[in-house]
Amino acid sequence: RSQIKLFVHILQAEGAGVAAAINAASLALADAGIPMKDTVCACTAGILGRRVAIDLTREEEMAGGAQVIAGILAGTQEVSLLEVESKVPEGMFAPMYEAAVAGCAQIAMEMKACLLEH
């Protein structure tokens, strides 16, 4: 067995830094041919006003509203990461979670296309 350590240095944070780092690390490992159970993709979702939005900007993250970071295994849609920041208003967790997972599914398709292209 071997162990791989990944270090991600974010040069400029425009929002969704954790999700971007997860996506970049997963793509880098897959591109390097490292055997993995599946690729991992991540997306953020939060509440802006009274609406749910995905892929929050830095300003939207800093506004202090509730947000969710979800990471899924691209092939099985199995959740590998779920992080909630701030208090979520009643009845808003499910829409935020569903939006984040839907965002992950879209990112997974883009990641797959990128890997197939290279």
pLDDT digits (tens, 9 = 90+) for 18-30: 999 999 999 999 9
pLDDT digits (tens, 9 = 90+) for 7-55: 988 888 888 889 999 999 999 999 999 989 999 999 999 998 889 999 9
First-to-last alpha carbon distance for the chain, in angstroms, is 28
- For strands 40-48 and 67-73, give the pairing: antiparallel
Q: Quote the pLDDT of residue 92.
A: 94
* Alpha helices, H only, the chain: 17-31, 58-62, 93-117
Across 50-91, the runs of DSSP E, i.e. the strands, are: 51-54, 67-73, 79-85
Q: Read off φ and ψ for residue 38, nearest 5 degrees.
A: -170, 165
